[in-house]
Homo-oligomer: A and B are copies of this chain.
Amino acid sequence: MSPTTAPGGARRPTLRDVARLAGVGVKTASRVVTEEGGVSPAKVEAVRAAVAELGYVPDAAARGLRRGDRRAGVVAVLLEDLSNPFSASVLRAVEDVVRPRGLVVVAGSLDEDPEQERRLVRAVLGRRTDGLVLMPAGGDHGWLARELEAPGGALLGGVLGRAVPVVFVDRAPVGVVADAVRADDRDGARGAVAHLAGAGHRRVALLADDPAVWTAQERLAGYRDGLVAAGLPHDPALERTGLRSEAAAEAAVLALLDADEPPTALFTAQRRLTAGAVRALLARGRERDVAVVGFDDVVYADLLRPAVSVVAQDPGRIGALAAELLLRRLDGDRSAAQDLVVPTRLVPRGSGELRPVAAAP
C-alpha cells in the first residue's frame, strides 16, 4: 500500500481525475464544478458525468487555500457548556441560520475556564474559521483583540492575522470592542423583584452565581435596582451569591429558612439555582408559602406544583440574531459594533404570585 493510498482502499478522486476522465483541462473541470460558467454545453455534460461516476467531492480545504478570501465555510460556536439547555438552544439557532449559506458549525464548551477558552479559540482559528460566536468565559478579552483592526471594531485580527468577525453572546465584551447579543439581565432581575414586591413581599432573598460571571453581576445589580425601586431595605443577609451548583442553592435556601428573619420570597438568578431552591422548599413542605421567581426558564416548570414563575430569556432569538449579525460581517459590513439587548419576559405561573405568609414561630 503506497503512502498516498488510504488504508481502506482507493484514493479520493481529485479534480484532475475528473478532468482526465472527461477529456478536458483541469481548469475547465473547475469551471463546471464551481459553476463559474463559460463552458461549452458538451464539456459541461462530460464533466458532470465524470463527477458522478467518480463520486467526486471538491476538497473545501484545498479550495480555501488558494482562494483570496480563504473562506472554508466554517463558523465556530464556543459556549459555556453544550449540554446545558441555554447553550444548546443558542447553538441550534446559529446552526439554523448559517446552514442555508452552506456553512458548517464547529462547537465547543468553555466551562467558564479562560484557559480553555484561549486554547479553543486558537484551535478553531488555526482551522480557517470564517467567523466566531463566543460566550466569553474569562473577564477581560483584550487578548482577543491584540490586533483589532476593522473600522467599527467588529472585526478581530489577533492571532488570526486575517480579520475574523466575532460576535459575543449572552455577555457583553470586556476589554475589547465587538458585536454582542444578550438578554437584558439587569432589567429582567429588576422586574422579578418588582413582581414579588407587587405581591406584597418585603423580604426578598437573592440566590446568585459567582459575580465574576458577567450575567450574575448584572442580575445582582438588577436585584438591587428592584429593591430601591420598591422602597425595600437592602439586607445583606438575604443576598446569597457565589452559588455554583444546585446543591449550593438548596443548602442556601435551607439556611435562609432557618434564619431569624427568613425571606418570604426568593429571586433565583440562574436556572440550576431555581431548581435547588424548589428542591429545598419541597423538602421542608414550604413550597406554598415562600414565593419564587427564577431567572431563565426551566423545562417543565409548568408541571411543578406550584408551577414556577420565571423571567424567561430567548436563547433561540439570541443565537439567531448573533448568527445573522455574523453573516452580515462576513458579507463585509464594517459598521460600528452593535450591542443587541433582547428583552426578557416575566412568565407568571403560580410560585411568583404567592402572597407573603407570616413566618411560623
Chain A: residues with CB nearer than 8 A to chain B?
Answer: 3-4, 6-13, 55, 57-62, 64-65, 68, 72-74, 81-85, 88-89, 91-93, 95-96, 99, 102, 104-109, 122-128, 146-147, 149-150, 155, 157-163, 275, 278-279, 282, 298-300, 302-305, 332, 334
**Given A125-B57, A127-B73, A162-B8, do A105 and B106 touch, yes or no (CB 8 Å)?**
yes
27 A-B pairs with CB atoms under 8 Å apart are: A3-B68, A8-B150, A8-B155, A9-B163, A10-B147, A57-B159, A57-B160, A60-B128, A61-B61, A61-B62, A61-B65, A61-B72, A72-B127, A82-B91, A85-B299, A91-B107, A92-B109, A102-B123, A104-B108, A104-B124, A105-B106, A105-B107, A106-B106, A106-B107, A107-B107, A275-B303, A299-B300
Other A-B pairs beyond A8-B157, A62-B65, 13, CB < 8 Å: A6-B162, A13-B161, A59-B126, A60-B126, A72-B127, A82-B91, A82-B92, A88-B88, A104-B106, A104-B127, A105-B108, A106-B106, A300-B304
A88 to B157: give the CA distance in the assembly, Å: 31
Residues of B within 8 A of A74 (CB): 106, 127
A125 to B104: give the CA distance in the assembly, Å: 11
Cβ 8 A contact of A305, one of B122, B146, B305 = B305
Is B95 a contact partner of A10 (Cβ separation < 8 A)? no
Whole-angstrom distance between the Cβ of A160 and the nearest chain B Cβ: 6
Residues of B within 8 A of A99 (CB): 108
Is B109 a contact partner of A57 (Cβ separation < 8 A)? no
Is B163 a contact partner of A8 (Cβ separation < 8 A)? yes
Residues of B within 8 A of A127 (CB): 60-61, 72-74, 104
Residues of B within 8 A of A3 (CB): 68
Is A55 a contact partner of B13 (Cβ separation < 8 A)? no
Residues of B within 8 A of A104 (CB): 106, 108, 123-124, 127
A48 to B256: give the CA distance in the assembly, Å: 56
In the complex formed, the residue of B with least CB distance to A125 is B57
In the complex formed, the residue of B with least CB distance to A162 is B6
Is B300 a contact partner of A126 (Cβ separation < 8 A)? no
**Given A82-B92, A161-B55, do A149 and B9 touch, yes or no (CB 8 Å)?**
yes
